[in-house]
Every structure is written in structure tokens, then in C-alpha cells.
Structure 1
């Protein structure tokens, strides 16, 4: 799945139902303590405004699901069971069950064995429908942005510190080098596509007053590198990194794009394979290259931003890509270098932090890490 695209895997009603039952048992006030991957994925698709408060998103999708039950006893009992009805939010599960059973004039035990399963199942079906219809009606470019104060986080694991950007890669500003995932043929996707590479090519294009593309410098620079290095008609080794200019991204303070070959085309298909070791190799090569080029620029290059290499068309899970990437970053850590990561969704940032065992916390509103403040770093 390309970075920046919606997660379009089908929803499993049984998985949603299991998590709805967890919410019924623990209550809305404990949502943040629960492991609810399916509900969180559904909520991220349904919510029109993405923030870092995912429990509110989950509650909102449950409210919308209950509101679609058609009224009557079913909807009323569902509101009581899940604590969505007025005055029910902080009641314990037993009290909420009693109120729901009373709607049907049943004993608590009989309600638990009959109507409750049906009610929660109906809620789960509505959640699935809401999420699936959002998948089919939305495009990758329709994903809303996070609130500004949670677009940047600080991730610390041991001595290694990184700033995590939660927004489209083309909004990165005042970072010297952006790493762009590529396949081993170093072929750039068309500008209209949703991948990181397509987004950077599009943002780097030169346009006329009407918005039409008049020059494609990122593509042209990469073609020139392939020609100069004798790989115009053949693939490079996985882990190879090709440096190019940034095109129009220079206006955003970007000075280089490093194209990292991590995806190997699968013969006879449109699919790719990515080995996590190639992600490690490519990230390490990018760090070595910025050290090599550092003093050829004035001021010297010192900041570099990585997307989740291999987690797009390559199909690597977010956690696998993050672990491989962090392995290279930790091994190649050097003084005076700023490390940045960019992801499209808040949930991806959470998964990165969980995968590497770090702490990811939104900086207080209006603040930035010190080194970014010194350089005037602002994305958007």
C-alpha cells in the first residue's frame, strides 16, 4: 500500500464484534487502555478530522454506528450497553447491562444470553459498513491533515533521537535531504499517483502560471545519474542510493533527494518484493552519502528525512520497515546530524514508536525541537 494511501483491507465483522464487546465490558472511559486495532482502523477511515485523540475517533464511529440502527429498542439498548446514552458513560458494565435489559423487559441473565449478542453484532455490522463505504468513496489525497500541534513528535530510543512528521512528504520544509523509495530500476511513478516517490516528483516539478508542468527536474536528474553510472538499461543492486537535485522543492529548503532502491520487481507481475535487509542497506547508504556530500554544500548538509522504506508497493508492514530503518539509523548515528521520519497517519507514528521501543509524544502546542527552532524549521 503506497504511503499516503488508505488502508483498504476488508473488514472482518467478527474482529470488530470482539472489540465492540471489549468496549462494552470496559467502558468508554477506558478506551485508551484497550487494544482495538480493527476499531482504530475503521475510525481512522470514518473520522473527517484526524487528531491524536484516537479514543474519541473510536467513540465517534461507535456513535454513528448506533445511530444507524433505526431507533426503537435496538438502538436504545445499544446506547445503554456501550455507555453512549446520556449519563451512562462512566457506569460500570453491570449497571449498563441492567439498563439495556430493562429496555426489553428481560432479566439481566436472559438479556446477556440473547439480545445482547444480537445488539452488539448489529453495531459491528454498521461499523464495517461505514468503514468499507469510506474506503470505496475516498481517495488518498482526501486524507485530512492532523491538527498542526500534533504534526511533529519526538522519538527517543537510547542516544538516538528523531523527529517524526505526521503529514504528506511534500509538506516537509527546511530539511536538507529527503529519501525517496524506489525500485531497482530507479523508475519514477507518474506524478498523479499517491506514493512518496510520485509526491516528491510532483512537488519538484516546475510549473507555469496556469499550473501546467513545464519541467520535470527530479526525473531528468535521476535519468542523468543512471546514464552516468551505466545503469540506464539495467537494474541496480537493492540498497543502492542515487542522489539528485530537489527541483522546485528547493523553494521549501530541500537541497537533495536520495532515491533508495529497495523494491525488486517480481517478474511477470506488477508486484514488488522487499527484503528488510535491503532497507537496512539503503538507509545506511543514505547516511553514508550525506556524510560524503556534507561539505560540498554551503552550509553543510546535516538533516535527512526517511519515509517508511518498503512499506508502500513493497508491502512491508509498518513495524517491519520501522525496525529495519531504525537498525540502520542507530548503527550510523553521527554527531551533528538531524534525523527525521515522515509518515502519513498518526497510527503509523504510533506503530513506529511501538516497533522500536521508543516514546512518541506530540510536542506542546507552539513548540518545536530546539535544532528545528534554530533553523526556522516549519512544515506545511
Structure 2
């Protein structure tokens, strides 16, 4: 794994020299990482390093941070031959700060994030080389199983355009404080939902602009046309044509405050948190009045597009409201939707601290623990079902109620295994004590040292 400090120093060299002088710039770490990429065979080092840098910057995930990174290195269109001072000045304009302030504060963050992406790329290449496994397409739907406030919670992350969602009751859409939707041909979340919710004729012509018309009607009823609503305001509309995909409602959350006399917006994380909290309150209210009740909600990274919030900050603001709602015992089915796998990876990393352990204290986390390795020292795994091919479970205590433990190997030292059922294929169970009424232990080998296995039934196949 390359040293982050060395990589950062070489990124600074590239910023000063620019892409056009890569061949003359001493960047041994970047050349080494670029040379390990799958398509680097036979490519000149300067070209491989440029491709590596573009991959790293694209992995940042959009927003002001990525735009500033592109300008800083000369990767933005038309900036390849710009002097370093001009590139720095344009990057400072992205954040709306002076060149000096950008140099002292923002530039350090921008270049540091590029270095982080480069180190991550190097790590992934190393893992693929070590395992010998070919690179695979990452999953477009990821289920994250979390342990939150004493209970099991499953969060689903979708990695695709928001209009591909299916069977999610409510989709949250970011909006500006005027609830003015962008043109339907644009690529933002709100424009995509407007386009997907519209009714069209067989030739693709617009028949009814459901989402847009309902938002205008809400503004007219509440005396707000042409006047900004408070940040955090939530307006519910139907989903229009998306109802055919199982999407029933769209909640428009006002988080983007237009900056006067510009095309830019300001988004405050506190407004994101407040808006999501109000969306949950509205969900509870509408769910009681709906038949069947609303049970699921999907959230994009509010403010992380034109709003300019870094994805990390956007998700932190979202999660504050989500966690508070779940802490109160709400049973909503939570979904997130992002377009890039880099952002899905970020969400996974941020929620890793809540990850439900694969073994240990497994009560209530029943279902599909397949592939668990090394369960040593686990206590009280009662109620676990379908533990798959567990290996090296030595030292497990009190596994009462385990069903279908599959081909377990090396279970030495297990105590008090309770009423285990269907332990077929267990090998090397030496030292197991008090295995209770085991049923269907077919194929067990080398059970030396087992004590008190009372009530064993159907032990066919024991050598």
C-alpha cells in the first residue's frame, strides 16, 4: 500500500507542473500505481498517470470538490495548458473564496481527497492481484445489515438512476426553496423524477406533467408562487407514471437556497437534516391514511449535486435524521440511491461502525450467515438460522437453537450447543461439551472428546 504522504506530495507536483508536463515531472509512486492498472500494458507512463488521475478525480463523486480537483490539476475541459496560477484562481471561484484562502484551506482538502482516491485505487489493485480473482462489476443493490440501538436494521443502497427504483413507497427529491423544478431533459434527481413521472404518448410526446403541475398547484394554494419557502419545507405529490413501478409518493424537500444574481445554490447541512426529519413526520402521517400503509422511503444525497455539498457532508446530515427516526423505534424500510459506486462505497464505509457482526450475539439477526469464518470466542448465538459453511468455531459458548449449520469445520471447544438441528458435514468437533438433543448429525467425522451429547438421533454416516 503506497504511503499517503508520498502520494500527496506527487499530486502537489502535478498541480504545479500541470498535465502537459507530466513526462517531465518526477512521480514514481503515481507511475507505479498506474502501471498496475489492467489497461496499462504498453502505455506510456505519462498517459497512464493521466488516466489514473482522471479515475481518482471521478471517484470523488461530483459536486464542488470534484470540480475544484479538475481545475486544480488541469483535467477540466480546456484547462490542460493553463498556468498553475490560473488553475488555482478558477478552483477558488468554485468555492467562492479568495485565491489566498483557497491556497491555505480548500486546496489542501482537494488535493488530500485526490490522494485518498489514489491510495484506494492502489489498494483495490493489490487485493485483485493477491486473490487472483478478476475484477467484477460491483452490485447495483447493496443490503447493509446494521445493529442500531439494540435492534437489527437493514438499509438498502441502490446504485443507479433514481427513475429505475421499483416498489419503494416514497422517493425524496431535493428542491430549491421556490419548488421550481428544472427542465425535464436535465440530469438532476428532481429533473429525472419529473421526466419519469410525466405521462407521454406512444411517440414520447408530453401529455401530462404530473409532478410539475402538482407542485405549482401546491404553491398556488399556499399563496407562495414566486415567493421562497423556508428551507426544510416538504411538499408531497403523487408519483405520476412512476406508480406503475410501485413508487407511490414523491416528497420534495426544499434544501437549496438560490444565490442572488447567480446560477448557484447554497445548501446548509442543518436544512438537510431538518427536511429529512419532516419527511419522516409526513411519512408517518400519510401512512396512517393510506391503504396499504406506506412503509418504505428512499433518499438521495440531498444537496450533493448543484448544491455543492460534499457527499460525506450530505450523508452525515441525512443520517442524523435517519438514525434519530430509527432510534425512536420506527420500522421504516430505509433506502438510499446514488448514481456512482464511489458514493455507495462511501456510504458503506460510513455505516461500517454499525455493521451487524457475522457471528456473536446473533439473537434476532436470523438468516443467511453463510460463509462465516473464525467464530472463536463467540458467546450466546441463540436463534441463528442457516449459518452456512462456518470454519474454525472454536470457543463458541451457548449456541442454543442453531439450525442448519452446514459444513462446519474445526468446532473444538464449543460448549453448551443446545438443541442443534441438521449439523450434517461437521468435521473435527473435538472438545465439544453439552451438545444437548442433536438431531440429524449425518456425516460427522472425528468427534473425539465430545461429552454429554444426550438425545442424539439419526447419527448415520459416523465413521
Q: TM-score, normalised by structure 1?
A: 0.61
Distance 1:263 1:221 in 2: 20
In the other structure, the counterpart of 1:303 is 296
Preserved CA contact (<8 Å) 2:298 2:337: yes
In the other structure, the counterpart of 1:67 is 42
2:26 is aligned with 1:124: no
Distance 1:282 1:220 in 2: 22
In the other structure, the counterpart of 2:277 is 284
Distance 2:283 2:243 in 1: 17
2:144 is aligned with 1:155: yes
Question: 1:357 offset after TM fit, Å?
Answer: 4.0
Distance 2:292 2:174 in 1: 26
SS of residue paired to 1:219 = helix
Higher helix share: 1
Aligned pair partner of 1:326 in 301, 319, 328: 319
Question: 1:189 offset after TM fit, Å?
Answer: 0.4
Distance 1:329 1:340 in 2: 10
SS of residue paired to 1:150 = coil
In the other structure, the counterpart of 1:337 is 332
Distance 2:343 2:301 in 1: 9
From the superposition, tell whether residues 289 and 13 of structure 1 become closer, same or farther in structure 2 (CA, over 3 Å): farther
Aligned pair partner of 1:169 in 126, 137, 162: 162
Distance 1:204 1:288 in 2: 24
Distance 2:351 2:54 in 1: 34
Question: 1:353 offset after TM fit, Å?
Answer: 2.3
Q: How does 1:14-25 map to 2 (within 5 A)?
A: 14=14, 21=29, 24=32
Question: 1:224 offset after TM fit, Å?
Answer: 1.1
In the other structure, the counterpart of 2:249 is 256
In the other structure, the counterpart of 1:226 is 219
Preserved CA contact (<8 Å) 2:177 2:257: yes
In the other structure, the counterpart of 1:351 is 346
In the other structure, the counterpart of 1:210 is 203
**Alignment RMSD:** 3.4
From the superposition, tell whether residues 163 and 135 of structure 1 become closer, same or farther in structure 2 (CA, over 3 Å): farther
2:183 is aligned with 1:190: yes
Distance 1:335 1:246 in 2: 24
Preserved CA contact (<8 Å) 2:146 2:355: no
Preserved CA contact (<8 Å) 1:176 1:256: yes
From the superposition, tell whether residues 360 and 163 of structure 1 become closer, same or farther in structure 2 (CA, over 3 Å): farther
Q: Deviations over 1:136-170 (max 9, x none)?
A: 69xxxxxxxxx887111123454243100001000
Q: How does 1:35-184 map to 2 (within 5 A)?
A: 59-61=37-39, 63=40, 67-69=42-44, 120-121=45-46, 123-125=48-50, 127=52, 150-159=139-148, 160-184=153-177
Greater than 2 Å deviation, 4+ residue runs: 11-20, 22-28, 66-69, 120-123, 125-137, 155-158, 353-361
Q: Deviations over 1:270-304 (max 9, x none)?
A: 10000000110011011111001002111000100
Question: 1:24 offset after TM fit, Å?
Answer: 2.7
Q: TM-score, normalised by structure 2?
A: 0.51
Instruction: List runs of 5+ in structure 1 lacking aligned partners.
Output: 1-10, 29-58, 70-119, 138-146, 362-368, 371-380
Preserved CA contact (<8 Å) 2:142 2:156: yes
Distance 2:76 2:355 in 1: 28
In the other structure, the counterpart of 2:411 is none
Instruction: List runs of 5+ in structure 2 lacking aligned partners.
Output: 1-10, 16-21, 59-69, 79-135, 357-365, 368-463
